[in-house]
Amino acid sequence: MFNNKILTLYSYAFLSCLLVLVACDDTNRAPDLTEDESVTTNESQEQVVEDPTLPESVLQKWDQGEDVENVQQILNKLSYKVESLGTFDEYTTWAITDIQLQAENIVPTGIYNEETRKFMETLLDEENSITPEEGLALPSDAYLYEHDSETVENPYDVLALVNKEHALPGDYTPEDLVIPNVRYPFTDDLPKKQLRKIAADALEELFAASDEAGLELYAQSGYRSYDRQESIFTSNVEQHGEEEANNFSARPGQSEHQSGLTMDVTSPSVEFQLNISFGETPEGTWLTDHAHEHGFIVRYPEDKEDITQYQYEPWHLRYVGVKVATEIYEEQLTFEEYMEQKSN
């Protein structure tokens, strides 16, 4: 009898412990979800991925960031096989140029701007159609990725590097040449008054700023055709010999003047000549310190002849845009050094 009571007490105790354990387990267990509740929970845990949108900011070669990546994703939708890595590389520059050349009333520059954005939006809305390479043939891998092509295969690119290793095509003539409203030491409407529109607008701003500083700049020589440069180089060779001429005069195709992005400037203090002493004039020293504020660089700086392969030319201004010009100015680079730094 005693043993039976003990067994009964043990049984009650054991059952109580089981009930407590079950209760604890039910307390910690998540409540059962209905099918609708389960779907809602799973959806809330998924990351929402928004479709890329075309940014409103102006973008150009070597820019980086989310805006660039969005442009690249849109280019993929338009059948351009651009890697969406967030760097505005040579391939992206080509794709933007190709689109601009197929649009109406857009100046081809390789720069993503408001006009380009609006046109790309119409393409996405299927109001227009576009086929890659109909505007500009796809450059070679040597040009896009290796940067050692002897030919500038996208001459429309505002940041195209033109020098003794990279020549413009002989038949290239900029489509948007205009005469900037600045001073010239001559009155005839010669081709050398011209610049591409983007550079001409910037030159007008530069001259206005120099006027405010009490200076007197004159534009001496802008655009030159391939044939005109051939005549100039041949004449310099006849006068000075080929070796010496090659230090200060470009062979045809290798001249930045053919790009329409370069203007030689001068002043009355040097009798409107293009010589090294211009760098010591008030106009020359002002340009050294302020040209970048308006998108220009002194293309052939002093003590950099081994890199540019041309003598110091304080009068030779090349348009590259304010962002790039400022970076080159602050880091005291040549254009060659800047391009090499960015492409590596």
- pLDDT tens per residue across span 229-275: 999 999 999 999 998 988 889 999 999 999 999 999 999 999 999 99
- Assess whether 206 and 336 both reside in one domain: yes
Give the HSE-up count for residue 77: Cα atoms under 13 Å, Cβ half-sphere: 17
Residue 118 domain flag? yes
Q: How confident is the model at residue 126 (pLDDT cuts 50, 70, 90)?
A: confident
User: How many domains are there within the chain?
Assistant: 2
pLDDT at 71: 97
- Assess whether 252 and 142 both reside in one domain: no
- Assess whether 212 and 336 both reside in one domain: yes
* 3-class DSSP state of 151: strand
Residue 92 contacts by C-beta under 8 Å, 6 or more apart in sequence?
Answer: 61, 68, 71, 72, 75, 82
- Assess whether 126 and 199 both reside in one domain: no
The Cα–Cα gap between 293 and 206 comes to: 8
* 3-class DSSP state of 87: strand
- Assess whether 200 and 268 both reside in one domain: yes
Domain-ending residue, one of 99, 131, 146: 146
pLDDT at 50: 67
DSSP conformation class of 146: I
Which amino acid would we find at residue 139? P
Instruction: Give CA separation, 130 vs 37, 79, 102, 103, 122, in Å.
Output: 46, 9, 7, 9, 11
74 or 129, higher pLDDT: 74
- Assess whether 334 and 187 both reside in one domain: yes
Residue 92 domain flag? yes
Which amino acid would we find at residue 288? T
The Cα–Cα gap between 273 and 185 comes to: 10
- Assess whether 82 and 206 both reside in one domain: no
Residue 127 domain flag? yes
User: What average pLDDT does the segment 117-132 reach?
Assistant: 88
Q: How confident is the model at residue 52 (pLDDT cuts 50, 70, 90)?
A: confident
Residue 240 domain flag? yes
Domain-ending residue, one of 103, 123, 146: 146
- Assess whether 197 and 337 both reside in one domain: yes
Residue 12 domain flag? no
Residue 158 domain flag? no
Residue 262 domain flag? yes
Q: How confident is the model at residue 129 (pLDDT cuts 50, 70, 90)?
A: confident
* CATH code: domain of residue 257: 3.30.1380.10
Q: Is the pLDDT of residue 37 over 60?
A: no
Instruction: Give CA separation, 247 vs 83, 136, 150, 288, 300, in Å.
Output: 40, 33, 19, 22, 11
The Cα–Cα gap between 16 and 5 comes to: 17
- Assess whether 195 and 334 both reside in one domain: yes
| 3-state SS, one letter per residue, for 288-327 | HHHHHHHCEEEEECCCCHHHHCCCCEEEEEEECCHHHHHH
- Assess whether 141 and 184 both reside in one domain: no
Contact of 335 with 328, CB cutoff 8 Å: yes
- Assess whether 231 and 325 both reside in one domain: yes
- Assess whether 87 and 136 both reside in one domain: yes
Q: Is the pLDDT of residue 116 over 90?
A: yes
Whose structure tokens read 């509740």?
Answer: 37
Query: 87: domain range?
Result: 66-146
Enumerate the H helices of 61-218 as residue ranges. 66-77, 90-102, 114-124, 141, 197-212
Q: Is the pLDDT of residue 336 over 90?
A: yes
pTM for the complete prediction?
0.84
Q: Is the pLDDT of residue 172 over 80?
A: yes
Residue 246 domain flag? yes
Domain-ending residue, one of 146, 162, 186: 146
